[in-house]
Amino acid sequence: MNRAASPPDVTGLLVAWSNGEEAARGRLIDAVYSELRRLARAHLRRERLDHSLSPTALVHEAYLKLVDQRKVHWENRVHFFAIAAHIMRRILVDHARAHQAAKRGAAARVPLGDVDVAAEPRDVDLLALDGALDRLSHVDERQSQLVELRFFGGLTIAETATVLSVSPATVKNDWALARAWLYRELRGRAE
Amino acid sequence: MTTPSNWEKVRAIFHRALDRPLDQRAAFVHEQAGDDSGVRKEVESLLAAHVEADRFLEKSSASLETPRLKRGARLGAFEIVGLIGTGGMGEVNRARDTRLDRTVAIKILSPDLVSDPRGRERFEREARVISKLAHPNICTLHDVGSATTDGGEVPFLVMELLDGETLATRLARGPLPVQQALKYAAEIAGALAGAHAQGIVHRDLKPANIMLTKSGAKLLDFGLARLRAPSSASGSPQVEGAVDESLTRDGLLIGTLPYMAPEQVRGHDADARTDLFAFGTILYEMLTGARAFAGDSQADLIAAILGHEPPPVTTRQPLTPPALERLVASCLAKDPADRWQSAHDVGLTLKAISDGSAEGTTVAGSRWRVHAVWATLVVALGLGLWSFRSDQGGAAPPPNPTPVIVLMDSPLPGRVYDSRTLAAGGTNADDVSDALRELRVLTHKENTSAIWHREEQVRQQNPDLVVSHLSCLLDIRPSNGDRAIEDHLFEVAQNRLLGFLAYLAASNPRTQFLIYSRGRVWPTPEVQAAWTRDVVARFPRLEGRLFTIVVPGHANATFRDPATAELLRTRVKEILRLP
């Protein structure tokens, strides 16, 4: 396995960022992004089933690989998952934008570096969703972040509750609310 | 439109509304939003979107984790041949069983189903039960398994591969000929009877779950709705309970709204009779080509399921045998207790109708004889109803110039009641008839007449006023003084009663309704007025026709008390505009 000469100290960057070092954020994103690509490539090489990759699995695996869990607090977890989910959103949305000409609703293959990740465009227009999420963030930033974590990061209710530091019941209700808001928004614009 | 300024209020009301059954949300939002119509409209709009959104984003998120199997991929002994389609539960692939050299269907399920040991255990337990279903009209489950992928364990089902189209596809082209509908209906009833005998309830019976094959109708996804229900938690056990509850209450995720029984809409447990309701809606649609329950919005649809009777089958398909029309109507009774109780009986009756002997007495078996008696009774009542309708339509005077008061309550001694019912127990039917002895009073006691029977009587009598106790349709059981349970039971009773009244209001346009209850339900005149407003908002037909009266005094006060009786008399005369 060809690993980068010196793996980035993601744990250190996370700690630095949560201590207020804004510069750490950019380097963190770079590190997580390249790890996600690397993982995707490695996965395809050793898979037994002929299937596509799960972005969610990637995010989790990237976390396990990059972050020394003995050294991070839950705040660091929040930041990591928020960033990873945000990156997955960017990767998927950028691809959708690049292939805007492609018929909406057709199955799409999203290149992540030089491998494919299965996207799920069947009933969600990712570009429209991206725009709606931006609008939602103006109403309630937390709702928008929740959708990133759940939809793009693939976190469960329980995990999302942990990273957002609220009760699972609140996440469940907010998730319902955000989905309703986005659904209405997207339906309204489609009509 | 949402603005950041009212967002927190919208959010808070939305959250709490979610914890309430579908049919109570509108009233709750109304109450919570108060005069702020902006907030109220926003929450209503979001709740409607929530119901419609169904699995929006959830499904995508889940299927991001579901592997796409390609041609040639192996799942143990199974080799994927190609994708057949994508259903609510996951993708269905055509596959070859290399050991037995036969072609099968493989359904890939969400990894969430087995993501924790409890989920896995449940999945396997349910699958074992389903696989025991051996019936010519049920799609056979051959095997279950799971494959290891990057997304973790992915469970799959191996099923009989069926050739044909779903009933949903067929219905898109219009109604079925009566004889064909009868044949399929008998097969579906037989399949339900077989499954129910083993304690398995379908819970999500709908045309899309019925395959029409050369060898007849085949039911798909038996018991899967239940298997799916708790899975979406996909998280740690401590959340699972909470999510479970909301899924059950939400109802929507278990079952499909247009085919859902009232009890499912209300978030109650489903049983065999719930399947029979769905069966009724499907048979209705096969015969008429139209859905039994429809609405422009989810709220309308829910209201229709809870309170409206669909137009009789014969108004849409005149060739329907009367016995078949009655069978459908009985399957669609709002209260499970008033429906056909067993799919087996439904199957026998369908067979008899199909043989052209439905009205006859040639069918052997005591069970059938009982049904024949019921059928006769229905005919008699039906005639009564018909004559009432023609009276209404023509210039003839109303059949009952004297006001008829119908009472529908009578908690009797010797039965077990919860304390709330006991508190109301003194105000029984006899006391009310005594209090109103100057008027012609027809008394119905809850425990001595079946609801549909009473409904028919009410319709025949065409009363001016229906007097009813607020908890009169309460399914009585002891609650050990647990206030939460009592409140829940009371709410159940209240909803059943209101649905029933709305239905009566629709069939008897001039009847008015007087509801009496205790101070605990309406502690202040404001609460009493708000209650009426909410009910009328839900059932607009009751507008101007719904009156209330609080039984004053201590918890055991009754209409036997002269002052209370006088209060009732005065109120009734007021409502009926009597001197």
pLDDT digits (tens, 9 = 90+) for B284-321: 999 999 999 987 666 677 788 888 889 999 888 888 88
The residue-averaged pLDDT of B88-113 equals 78
Give pLDDT, residue A40: 58
Contact B503, B537 (CB under 8 A): no
Give pLDDT, residue B186: 95
Nearest CA in chain A to B63: A120
CATH homologous superfamily of domain B166-356?
Answer: Transferase(Phosphotransferase) domain 1 (1.10.510.10)
Q: B15 — contact with chain A (CB < 8 Å)?
A: yes
Contact B155, B112 (CB under 8 A): no
Q: B242 — contact with chain A (CB < 8 Å)?
A: yes
Residue B446 clears pLDDT 70, i.e. is over it: no
- In this structure, what token pair is assigned to residue B141? 């489950």
Give the pLDDT confidence of A122-153 residue by residue, as tens digits. Answer: 446 778 888 999 999 999 988 998 998 888 77
Residue B50 clears pLDDT 70, i.e. is over it: yes
**What is the pTM assigned to this prediction?**
0.46
Contact B468, B409 (CB under 8 A): yes
Residue B497 clears pLDDT 80, i.e. is over it: no
Residue B20 clears pLDDT 80, i.e. is over it: yes
Give pLDDT, residue B539: 80
The answer to whether residue A2 sits within a structural domain is no
ipTM: 0.73
**Partner-chain residue, chosen from B50, B73, B239, that has the shortest CB–CB distance to A168:** B239
Which residues of chain B lie closer than 8 angstroms to A164, CB-CB?
A: none
Give pLDDT, residue A56: 61
Residue B479 clears pLDDT 90, i.e. is over it: no
Residue B358 clears pLDDT 90, i.e. is over it: no
d(CA B548, CA A81): 56
- CA B78 to chain A, closest CA, distance in angstroms equals 12
The answer to whether residue A33 sits within a structural domain is yes
pLDDT class for B482, splitting at 50, 70, 90? Answer: low
pLDDT class for B576, splitting at 50, 70, 90? Answer: confident
**Partner-chain residue, chosen from A50, A159, A173, that has the shortest CB–CB distance to B70:** A50
Residue A109 clears pLDDT 50, i.e. is over it: no
Give pLDDT, residue B377: 34
Give the pLDDT confidence of B378-402 residue by residue, as tens digits. Answer: 333 333 333 333 333 333 333 334 4
Q: A120 — contact with chain B (CB < 8 Å)?
A: yes
Residue B207 clears pLDDT 70, i.e. is over it: yes
B359 or A153, which is more confident? A153
Give pLDDT, residue B453: 53
- CA A146 to chain B, closest CA, distance in angstroms equals 12
The residue-averaged pLDDT of B123-145 equals 83
d(CA A38, CA A4): 10
B407 or B277, which is more confident? B277
The answer to whether residue A38 sits within a structural domain is yes
User: pLDDT > 90: what percent of chain B?
Assistant: 15
Give pLDDT, residue B60: 42
Q: Pick from B549, B523, B544: which is nearest to B533 by CA?
A: B544
Residue B425 clears pLDDT 60, i.e. is over it: no
Which residues of chain A lie closer than 8 angstroms to B2, CB-CB?
A: 139, 181
Q: A122 — contact with chain B (CB < 8 Å)?
A: yes
3-state class (DSSP) for residue B263: helix
Look up the domain containing A95 and give its range. 10-190
Residue B329 clears pLDDT 80, i.e. is over it: yes
* Residue B344 exposure: Cα atoms within 13 Å on the Cβ side: 8
Q: Do A52 and B74 make contact, defined as CB atoms within 8 angstroms? A: no
The catalytically annotated residue of B204, B221, B345, B431 is B204
Which residues of chain A lie closer than 8 angstroms to B60, CB-CB?
A: 120, 122-124, 151
Nearest CA in chain A to B3: A139
The size of the A-B interface in CB pairs under 8 A is 140
B151 or A18, which is more confident? A18
Residue B208 clears pLDDT 50, i.e. is over it: yes
The full set of domain ranges for chain B reads 4-53, 62-160, 166-356, 360-393, 404-576
Least confident of B72-81, B229-238, B344-353, B510-519: B229-238
Give pLDDT, residue A178: 95
pLDDT class for B459, splitting at 50, 70, 90? Answer: low
**Partner-chain residue, chosen from A43, A173, A179, that has the shortest CB–CB distance to B57:** A179
Q: Which residue has the tokens 């493989």?
A: B106
* Residue B429 exposure: Cα atoms within 13 Å on the Cβ side: 21
Contact B495, B470 (CB under 8 A): no
Q: B151 — contact with chain A (CB < 8 Å)?
A: yes
Averaged pLDDT score across all residues of chain B: 72
Give pLDDT, residue B86: 59
Q: Pick from A28, A39, A40: which is nearest to A79 by CA?
A: A28
Q: B116 — contact with chain A (CB < 8 Å)?
A: no
Which residues of chain B lie closer than 8 angstroms to A147, CB-CB?
A: 57
User: pLDDT > 70: what percent of chain B?
Assistant: 63
Handedness of CA A19, A25, A27, A29 (dihedral sign): positive
Least confident of B192-206, B343-357, B411-425: B411-425
Least confident of A54-63, B13-22, B163-172, B407-416: B407-416
The residue-averaged pLDDT of B151-170 equals 81
Q: Is B204 tagged catalytic? A: yes
What total of structural domains would you count in chain A?
Answer: 1
Least confident of B48-52, B189-193, B336-340, B409-413: B409-413
B79, with CB counted inside 10 A (0-12, 13-18, 19+), is: middle
The answer to whether residue A173 sits within a structural domain is yes
**Partner-chain residue, chosen from B47, B149, B246, that has the shortest CB–CB distance to A51:** B149
The residue-averaged pLDDT of B340-367 equals 67
CATH number 3.40.47.10 given to B404-576: no
End-to-end CA distance of chain B: 52
A191 or B578, which is more confident? B578
Give the pLDDT confidence of B534-565 residue by residue, as tens digits. Answer: 888 878 888 888 988 887 765 555 677 778 88
Residue B355 clears pLDDT 90, i.e. is over it: no
Q: Do B56 and A182 make contact, defined as CB atoms within 8 angstroms? A: yes
d(CA A30, CA A84): 11
CATH number 3.40.50.1820 given to B62-160: no
Q: B88 — contact with chain A (CB < 8 Å)?
A: no
